[in-house]
């Protein structure tokens, strides 16, 4: 793995790592029941789906698991997967009950995480990862591992397994622990790196919205400045009232949060007041109902009657908002 490569290319799907005679001896791998292996406890990478998964399953059915996964032994006699989550998943679907594995012992939490991170970057390019996955890698890659020398050892071992670097070449590479160097490594601007580092502070619900494209990156960054509790309140409000956030509203909410003393009720009242203010100045606006929505509710309804129904629905909606405001003011 080239440490200065801006993009990490996918070498293969069905075969993630290539054994190297200088690293693995014939006795290095053992067969382990898949039922005894649990996923890594903090695994945030998405597993293969669709055609990519189907290809891996077909390869394993035809050839078996050609290269061992990497696991660490746990105190209760079971194992935790470090490198090979996709191979294990595909092996299950292929009907296998055991899988070849290299067993690691005595790893620290940081060392175990590095196996997870480095192997995922062997399997796909950084650009292929979802924004929250990119954020996690950038945040944890150097911050979580204080022992840089050990990081070199792990990266070297995995690079040799992958066949993309010799141990000698790996010795000459120097990991760089700064925002600027991270930006150079992944062909990102320093600003983008800074934003992705903020994204890692989002609660899971907002990370999922970001990954699915429902939440813009800049809005996600603003939300990340809220505390975890404040983010949970915000997500609950959005879900309860189908509230559409815009960046300006989030920025104002962030400023209010930084002034201190925010409660769930005051946050909700603030958002409702913003929404009301935004709509008070609008005198007239034409709106179109999506075709599916119109067919669902108004297919056989005269236009005048449909208008009356929508007015009643809006009155009910804003009545519930006013109730929320009154509840917030009482508290």
For the chain, the structural domain boundaries read 29-199, 226-330
- At 111-154, the pLDDT tens digits run 888 788 777 776 667 777 889 888 888 887 646 533 455 556 66
The CA distances from residue 309 to 304, 305, 314, in Å, are: 9, 6, 9
Rounded to the nearest integer, the mean pLDDT of the chain is 77
Q: What is the pLDDT of residue 315?
A: 77
Count of Cβ atoms closer than 10 Å to residue 204 Cβ: 11
Rounded to whole angstroms, how far apart are CA atoms 273 and 10?
50
What is the number of residues in the chain? 331
CATH of 29-199, one of 3.20.20.70, 3.90.1530.10, 3.40.50.2300, 2.60.120.10: 3.90.1530.10
| Residue 175 neighbours by CB under 8 Å, 6+ apart | 3, 142, 148, 151, 152, 155
Contacts 24+ apart (CB under 8 A), 201-206: 202/132, 202/231, 203/228, 203/231, 203/232, 203/235, 205/231, 205/232, 205/235, 206/231, 206/235
Contact present, 273 and 237 (Cβ < 8 Å):
no
- Return per-residue pLDDT of the chain as tens, 331 residues: 344 333 333 233 223 333 333 433 334 789 999 999 999 987 877 788 888 899 999 999 999 998 899 999 999 999 999 988 999 999 999 999 999 999 998 888 878 887 887 777 766 677 778 898 888 888 876 465 334 555 566 666 666 665 555 545 545 554 444 577 777 777 888 888 889 989 989 998 999 999 988 999 999 999 999 999 999 999 998 888 777 778 888 999 999 888 888 898 888 888 888 877 665 555 556 667 777 777 888 888 887 788 778 878 877 877 777 676 566 555 5
Q: What is the predicted pLDDT for the residue at 169?
A: 57
The phi and psi torsions of 102 (rounded to 5 degrees) equal -100, 125
Exposed/middle/buried for residue 155 (C-beta within 10 Å: 0-12, 13-18, 19+): buried
End-to-end CA distance of the chain: 57
How much is the pLDDT for 184?
A: 78
| Three-point CA angle 40, 46, 52, nearest 5° | 120
């Amino acid at each position: 793995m080239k440490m200065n490569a801006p993009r990490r290319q996918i070498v293969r799907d069905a075969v993630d790592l290539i054994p190297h005679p200088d690293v693995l001896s014939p006795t290095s791998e053992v067969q382990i029941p898949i039922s005894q292996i649990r996923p890594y406890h903090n695994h945030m990478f998405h597993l293969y789906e669709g055609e990519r998964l189907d290809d891996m399953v077909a390869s394993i059915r035809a050839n078996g698991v050609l290269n061992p996964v990497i696991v660490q032994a746990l105190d209760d006699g079971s194992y935790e997967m470090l490198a090979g989550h996709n191979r294990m998943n595909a092996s299950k679907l292929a009907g296998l009950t055991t899988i070849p594995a290299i067993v690691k012992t005595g790893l620290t939490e940081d060392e175990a995480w590095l196996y997870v991170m480095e192997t995922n970057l062997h399997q796909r390019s950084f650009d292929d990862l979802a924004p929250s996955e990119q954020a996690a890698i950038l945040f944890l890659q150097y911050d979580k591992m204080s022992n840089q020398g050990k990081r070199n050892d792990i990266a070297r071992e995995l690079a040799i397994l992958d066949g993309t670097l010799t141990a000698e070449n790996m010795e000459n590479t120097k990991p760089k622990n700064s925002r600027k160097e991270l930006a150079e490594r992944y062909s990102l601007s320093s600003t983008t790196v800074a934003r992705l580092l903020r994204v890692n502070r989002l609660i899971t619900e907002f990370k999922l919205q970001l990954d699915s494209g429902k939440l813009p990156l800049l809005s996600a960054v603003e939300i990340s400045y809220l505390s975890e509790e404040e983010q949970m309140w915000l997500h609950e409000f959005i879900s309860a009232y189908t509230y559409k956030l815009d960046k300006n509203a989030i920025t104002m909410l962030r400023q209010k949060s930084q002034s201190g003393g925010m409660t769930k009720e005051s946050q909700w009242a603030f958002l409702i007041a913003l929404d009301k203010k935004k709509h008070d100045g609008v005198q007239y606006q034409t709106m179109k109902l999506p075709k599916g929505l119109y067919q669902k509710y108004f297919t056989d309804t005269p236009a005048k009657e449909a208008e009356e129904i929508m007015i009643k629905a809006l009155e009910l909606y804003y009545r519930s908002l006013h109730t929320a405001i009154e509840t917030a003011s009482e508290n």
